Chains A and B, each alone.
Chain A
Amino acid sequence: MNLPVIIKFVIDLLAVLLLALGIKGLSKVKSARDANRLAAFAMLLSVVGLLSYYLGTSGIASQSWIWIIIGSIIGSLFGAILAKKVPMTSMPETVALFNGCGGMSSLLVALGVAIFPISGGQQNFDFFKSLINEVSISVSIFVGAITFTGSIVAMAKLQGWLSTPGWTQSKVRHFVNIVFAVASLVAFFDLINGNTSSIWLLVIVSSLLGIGVTLPIGGADMPVVISLLNSYSGIAAAAAGFVVDSQLLIVAGAMVGAAGLILTQVMCKGMNRSLVSVLFGGSLSAQSTASSGSGEYTNITSCSVEECALTLEAANKVIIVPGYGLAVAQAQHTLREVTKKLEQNGIEVVYAIHPVAGRMPGHMNVLLAEADVPYEQLKEMDVVNPDFPATDVVLVLGANDVVNPQAKNDSSSPLYGMPVLDVQEARTVFVIKRGMSAGYSGIKNDLFDLPNTSMVFGDAKKVLNDLIGELKDLGVGEK
């Protein structure tokens, strides 16, 4: 072994170690931020290692430098700008977009290698000279394309650019996807057999498969899908590692792929959904309207913002249950204003965070943190549930299914078994909601019918603003 090889070996080893420590650290609140930086540093290190290796051995042509610099500057610049500008509420679709681009990158590497085989020179690869290369190129293209189109569809659906087309909820979609899958397999084997022209067929059908699989999945399940696609992009990276013969790529890709799978599993558990039903069950609302979503409300009490303010003023302990609706209305800052006023009056305020509150697990914590809510006031479901009986007022803001008592009481409900917040145990529950429409699941919420529940109809942000005005009139928080 000569010196450049040894240096690269050591750097790669160090980079793998740091990446592993980074992923590990990211799963603990205390170390998460440093771990993220550590991982970023490891990535930089790996680039330095690779470039120094080439400088030390074959050298890097000035022409190559130009293209490296162009690609790096444009990619990094757009990435940094988007990361700085994007609002916290759009985090899930941003992650989806980044992820899709990672998949695209693996796809392009494999395509480039496949279409323009380089011949001659001892430093070059033996592209298409071995079965292994053909297989790894095909896998890289297949997984990369699915990751890319799947992520883009996920992003478009979360952004509201794409709705769920009706046909995707029927059985037809299984047939369509099976056709795509079979066609991908045919192209795959054709390619391995040496028929290079079928590479385009593989690109097209695997792209379509990515779309076909993601399109039927409803908004509530999208985070799971993004997490799964994130795992795929790791696999695509590992496949690209086989293509260019890089152990570091294989290790890092495999690590992300496996970790992504675990995270997907954890998320599914929190939502009481199995991965299979997320992927093949279609959106939950389609199933439930057929079974039990048709119940009518019989005992709805609605009340004005003023009444709500009066009750809040008299309370000792208030629990806020924020949900998706709050995130959509971008009302987290207004909410913080309200709770500040209550706190100044000596009222104890706690936020109850359901594991899947918001648009993604953990998303609500990020949103509330952005609005300067102290970390200690965010209570997780298991911690806060015993507190509800001793609570005077619960404010439910844009949450629905996660406070549905059906999940505990009605074994025929599709929600049955999902962990929920026991808000009905509190003395008074206010539900701030636009109208009587159902939640993600499309299931009637028994909570709304209970005698201690009052509905405050209106947009979350507007209601909260009115609430601030009412509280001011009552002299709350003006000491």
Chain B
Amino acid sequence: MSFISLLWVLLLGSLLGLELIGKVPPTLHTPLMSGANAISGITMLAALTLIVKAEGNIPLLIIGSVSLGFALFNVVGGFFVTDRMLAMFSRKPSNKK
């Protein structure tokens, strides 16, 4: 990919992000922040790339692996904790009946 097309990708991605969240009820601020936070752990893909392309370079493999660990800590923890929060909301109405 050329740099210019990557810049386009960046621009369009940013615009999409700005549009996605319009009105958020305060109830959801914390879960939304936590969910978006989990998505920012997408750097795990960069860490994976690093490991695959390390070609036996041990320090690079280690850095990549640690980086992958941090990213997955963010991703897995983030989604689980968001789910835990949201489970509390969705459980209520069904309990009432």
Contact = CB atoms under 8 A, between A and B. Distances in A.
A263 B46 contact: no
Nearest to B74: A102
A118 B54 contact: yes
Given A26-B36, A270-B26, A39 B64 contact: no
A43 B39 contact: yes
A72 B37 contact: no
B50 A253 contact: no
Contacts of B55: 61, 118, 121, 124
Interface string B43-67: 1111111111111110111111111
B6 to A, nearest CB: 6
Contacts of A204: none
B27 A29 contact: yes
A248 interface: yes
B60 to A, nearest CB: 4
A29 B77 contact: no
Contacts of A252: 13, 39-40, 42
Given A105-B67, A121-B55, A246 B79 contact: no
Given A98-B78, A248-B45, A67 B51 contact: yes
A102 B35 CA distance: 13
A172 interface: no
Nearest to B3: A132
A297 interface: no
Contacts of B78: 79, 83, 95, 98
A390 B30 CA distance: 32
A3 interface: no
A75 B76 contact: yes
Interface string B1-36: 101001001111111111011111111111111111
A74 interface: yes
Interface string B70-92: 11111111111111111111111
Contact of B65 (A67, A106, A123): A67
Given A102-B71, A255-B16, A109 B40 contact: no
A75 to B, nearest CB: 3
Which among B14, B42, B78 has the highest number of chain A CB atoms within 10 Å? B42
A319 interface: no
Contacts of A26: 28, 31-32, 35-36, 82
Interface in A116-130: 116, 118, 121, 123-125
A75 B82 CA distance: 17
Contacts of B11: 254
A197 to B, nearest CB: 17
A123 B61 contact: no
A107 to B, nearest CB: 8
B83 A37 contact: yes
A210 interface: no
A322 interface: no
A95 B81 contact: yes
A183 interface: no
B26 A355 contact: yes
A104 B73 CA distance: 11
Which among B32, B35, B90 has the highest number of chain A CB atoms within 10 Å? B32
Interface string A27-52: 11100110111011001001100110
Contacts of A240: 43, 46
A380 B25 CA distance: 9
B48 A353 contact: no
A296 B43 CA distance: 53
Given A23-B21, A99-B40, A253-B42, A113 B89 contact: no
A20 B66 CA distance: 28
A372 B87 CA distance: 12
A63 B62 CA distance: 11
Interface stretch (A154-162, A184-192, A356-364, A461-469): A356-364
Given A36-B79, A118-B54, A262-B18, 19 more contacts: A20-B20, A22-B39, A33-B83, A40-B75, A71-B65, A78-B69, A84-B84, A118-B55, A118-B60, A124-B53, A233-B40, A250-B6, A250-B13, A251-B16, A253-B43, A256-B36, A262-B21, A360-B33, A375-B89
The 8 closest A-B pairs by CB, nearest first: A258-B17, A79-B77, A254-B13, A75-B72, A71-B68, A83-B80, A75-B69, A369-B88
Interface of A: 19-20, 22-24, 26-29, 32-33, 35-37, 39-40, 43, 46-47, 50-51, 54, 58, 60-61, 63-64, 67-68, 70-72, 74-76, 78-80, 82-84, 86, 88, 91-92, 94-95, 98-99, 101-102, 104-106, 108-109, 111-113, 115-116, 118, 121, 123-125, 132, 226-227, 230, 233-234, 236-238, 240-263, 266-267, 270, 353, 355-356, 360-363, 365-366, 369-370, 372, 374-376, 378, 380
11 contacts: A20-B16, A70-B69, A79-B74, A82-B73, A84-B84, A94-B77, A105-B44, A112-B59, A233-B74, A353-B26, A375-B92
